[in-house]
Structure 1
Amino acid sequence: MKEYQTITEISGPLVFAEVDESIGYDEIVEIETPNGETKRGQVLESSKGLVAIQVFEGTEGIDRKSSVRFLGETMKMPVTEDLLGRVLDGSGRPIDGGPDIVPDERRDIVGEAINPYSREYPEEFIQTGVSAIDGMNTLVRGQKLPIFSGSGLPHNDLALQVARQATVPEEDEGDDDDGTEFAVIFGAMGITAEEANEFMEDFERTGALERSVVFMNLADDPAVERTVTPRLALTTAEYLAFDKGYHVLVILTDMTNYCEALREIGAAREEVPGRRGYPGYMYTDLAQLYERAGRIEGREGSVTQLPILTMPGDDDTHPIPDLTGYITEGQIVMDRDLNSQGIQPPINVLPSLSRLMDDGIGEGLTRKDHADVKDQLFAAYAEGEDLRDLVNIVGREALSELDNKYLDFADRFENEFIQQGYDTDRSIDETLDIGWELLSTLPKEQLNRIDEDLIEEYYVEEEQAVEA
């Protein structure tokens, strides 16, 4: 291990130093400042005689007299099953006052790409307890399904609700009632101290922390650290899933802050910017994270991702949601109008999509009527939404009796199906029962997307509804 005092330039989060040997890309670096403080960094670029180092803790205090040591290894995450219940900072160091981590092994945070041949197709249902997700855009084990939100919307409340409620229903009957075989990895990037306190209070109050590993990168932490946090979280998830057999749900918030960190580093390196100033390689960088979700043939565990991003200006054509939509298998869209109406959670099911849903709600996984009910609810709600626009022009009195039924259906769908609050955990049976109750307000002949046998079994006649 060689030590240099050859720093030539300091630019934002980057330090440039001259070297007389070959330095590996992503190699970990220790920088000792003149006042004795040691900071960690990572080699971002290496060329003959010169290296660029991104410093995790920020470059404050570093000057040309600082010493640079190259450790000869890439950044690694100490992994062990004992990480469950722990809270770590954005660099993977404990901040919960607990004992030091004694790892089973140390794993490279870049991870290993899953061989496409060895991937198992995702087709097993994860119950989040949220009707707008379970009923209409089902999350499937091994899927990557982002939440598209906006500034000021309650995406953090939804994230916490999913973190404490998510289960694998068919495994709840055996030895897994205590949830030990289902784990949550929560990676927060660039959140405020207030948000961090809310997260921790909720995790501790509900007991969700016992099955979770929390990584916290705060808004006043160095932006460079945000590029490391999701990789530490996913490395931990892969270990628990593929080595220990857990079904792991990874919640990453906020991916917009992660991409802003990429842009900041790119500007410091004086790179030629891509769309709206973001690096041209951002698609590749995001894909390296999102594609770490999945299942491996012959392994019990799985890694499912629920990344959250706030769309700048609520613009779904912005590079961050645009590229995310290309890589992932759908999206859950939070809606500002529904939020202003007090709907909790304010999920707009019409632009939302889960591309793997049909494979996850087959017979034996959820009720056999799930797919038909979902299709009919979508169609009826879309019809009601279209009629709302017409009402603004001609008035409700000009519409037919059937049109008015669809308008009433749309209102009730929002207020009874989507609306449930952040503390209500609905099983898939409860969600579908509500769906049938709403569909039963429409004439039977309008239910053209549901098998007749299912209509006979589940349709609630008006007389029965009155008695109930």
Structure 2
Amino acid sequence: MKEYQTITEISGPLVFAEVDEPVGYDEIVEIETEDGRTLRGQVLESSEGIVSIQVFEGTGGIDRNASVRFLGETMKMPVTEDLLGRVLDGSGNPIDGGPEIVPDERQDIVGKAINPYSREYPEEFIQTGVSAIDGMNTLVRGQKLPIFSGSGLPHNELALQIARQATVPEEDEEGDGSEFAVIFGAMGITAEEANEFMDDFERTGALERSVVFMNLADDPAVERQVTPRLALTTAEYLAFEKDYHVLVILTDMTNYCEALREIGAAREEVPGRRGYPGYMYTDLAQLYERAGRIEGKEGSVTQIPILTMPGDDETHPIPDLTGYITEGQIMMDRDLNSQGIEPPVNVLPSLSRLMDDGIGEGLTREDHGDVSDQMYAAYAEGEDLRDLVNIVGREALSERDNKFLDFADRFEEEFVQQGYDTNRSIDDTLDLGWELLSDLPKTELNRIDEELIEEHYHEDETAEAVQAD
């Protein structure tokens, strides 16, 4: 370990120092200031004779007389099963007043990419207890399914609801001993939001099966680059070495990308779209692709990244690139939120690309796919008719069209709307779907197998009268 006093420049969160030997990329650095403080950093760029270092705690108090020590190793996360129930800061240090972490081992936070040959295809259903997700955009073990939200929308409440309620029913029934754990990584959130998260975790008891990483808005932006990697390293350890089914919730990825842009500007990089680094796609892929399952391993890592779209713009680089990498998206809607719908999930632009493999006989119920398809079609038709009503008025529509309008209203008010404290099983969700579909004439249920209609359709006098007409 060599020590230098060769700092040449301090720029934002970066420190530049001269060296006389090669220094490895991502190597951990200790910087000792004149007042005796020791700050940690990481080598961001290494070229002949000079290195740039990003300092996790910020560069305040560092001057050119500070000492720089290169430790010869990359950043590692101390991992152990005892992390469950703990609250850590964005750098992985305990902040819950509990004992120091005694790790079973220390793992590199960059992680290893899962060999595509060893990946097991995701096809086991995860029940979140949220009908708009379970029924219409099903989450599957090993999937990465982001939530696209907007500033001011209640994505935090939805994230907490999923963290409290998520289970793997199939594994519970089999009783194979696999347990469920939640890794919650918060980046750039306010102290008020952090208090809300912790109050909810403690009130509901969800903290017992969770590991929480907290990077606050006033913490250094550089730390935001480390937080999700620490969270995912912990998730991989619990999943692939301790056989847990791990759900990783990362919020807010927009704050993470803003940190990338800030550091890129400090390095005077040539910016890409809207000022974000050109390598942002690669950087996000390194995080998202750490979700998955491995053949021969009982555990799994499932990701729900949450991002707020600046200006509610779906074409913004952050949601745009995220959509390319992940397997779908859950869209939160400002209009539904203004109507008091909780959670305000718009199922029409939402998508789970792995849903078809995670539902059906042996996974959920055999009618799941048909019910979901039929509700999509009926709700979409009701939405189109709402536009027509604005032009010609409801009186000009046929009785059939009015049925679809009523279905769209009930779908939002009874199926999507459930509040943040209601936990619906998949059976509850599908039974509710049949209740809504039974308001439509049987002849309109053209996406459902006839045997399923005979088994689940609720006959009523109104439906029979419309069918007779």
Residue 97 of structure 1 aligns to a residue whose secondary structure is coil
Counterpart for residue 264 of structure 1: 262
Counterpart for residue 365 of structure 1: 363
Deviations 1:208-263 (A, max 9, x none): 00000000000000000000000000000000000000000000000000000000
Following the alignment from structure 1 to structure 2, what is the Cα–Cα distance between the partners of residues 12 and 409? 55
Q: Residues 58 and 313 of structure 1: is their aligned pair in 2 closer, same or farther, counting only changes over 3 Å? A: same
What are the equivalent positions in structure 2 for 1:273-352 lying under 5 Å apart? 273-352=271-350
CA contact (8 A) 2:441 2:463 kept: no
Counterpart for residue 171 of structure 1: 171
Following the alignment from structure 1 to structure 2, what is the Cα–Cα distance between the partners of residues 392 and 362? 39
Counterpart for residue 113 of structure 2: 113
Shift of 1:463: 5.1
Deviations 1:389-439 (A, max 9, x none): 000000000000000000000000000000000000000000000000000
Report the AA paired with residue 311 of structure 2: G
Q: Which of the residues 425, 447, 450 maps onto 1:449?
A: 447
Q: Which of the residues 237, 251, 264 maps onto 2:249?
A: 251
Report the AA paired with residue 254 of structure 1: D
Deviations 1:331-367 (A, max 9, x none): 0000000000000000000000000000000311101
What are the equivalent positions in structure 2 for 1:120-199 lying under 5 Å apart? 120-173=120-173, 175=175, 181-199=179-197
Following the alignment from structure 1 to structure 2, what is the Cα–Cα distance between the partners of residues 158 and 465? 36
Following the alignment from structure 2 to structure 1, what is the Cα–Cα distance between the partners of residues 397 and 38? 73
Q: Which of the residues 208, 211, 214 maps onto 2:209?
A: 211
Deviations 1:51-76 (A, max 9, x none): 00000000000000100000000000
Residue 429 of structure 1 aligns to a residue whose secondary structure is helix
Counterpart for residue 94 of structure 1: 94
Deviations 1:265-296 (A, max 9, x none): 00000000000000000000000000000000
Q: Which of the residues 387, 396, 399 maps onto 1:398?
A: 396
Residue 408 of structure 1 aligns to a residue whose secondary structure is helix
What are the equivalent positions in structure 2 for 1:4-83 lying under 5 Å apart? 4-83=4-83
Gaps of 5+ in 2: 465-469
Runs of 4+ in 1 over 4 A off after TM superposition: 174-177, 463-466
Residue 173 of structure 2 aligns to a residue whose secondary structure is coil
CA contact (8 A) 2:124 2:170 kept: no
Alignment coverage as a number of residue pairs: 464
Q: Residues 24 and 145 of structure 1: is their aligned pair in 2 closer, same or farther, counting only changes over 3 Å? A: same
Structure 1 residue 221 and structure 2 residue 219: aligned? yes
Report the AA paired with residue 390 of structure 1: L
Shift of 1:172: 2.2
TM-score computed with the length of structure 1 as normaliser: 0.98
Following the alignment from structure 1 to structure 2, what is the Cα–Cα distance between the partners of residues 464 and 86? 56
Following the alignment from structure 1 to structure 2, what is the Cα–Cα distance between the partners of residues 410 and 464? 18
What are the equivalent positions in structure 2 for 1:378-417 lying under 5 Å apart? 378-417=376-415
Quote the sequence identity (%).
Answer: 89
Following the alignment from structure 1 to structure 2, what is the Cα–Cα distance between the partners of residues 377 and 426? 18
Shift of 1:170: 1.6
Deviations 1:150-185 (A, max 9, x none): 0000000000000000000122235579xx700000
Deviations 1:28-84 (A, max 9, x none): 000011100110000000011100000000000000010000000000000000000
Residue 59 of structure 2 aligns to a residue whose secondary structure is coil
Aligned CA-pair RMSD: 1.2
Which stretch shifts more, 168-177 or 32-41?
168-177
CA contact (8 A) 2:26 2:44 kept: yes
Shift of 1:465: 10
Following the alignment from structure 1 to structure 2, what is the Cα–Cα distance between the partners of residues 72 and 269? 23
Report the AA paired with residue 107 of structure 2: R
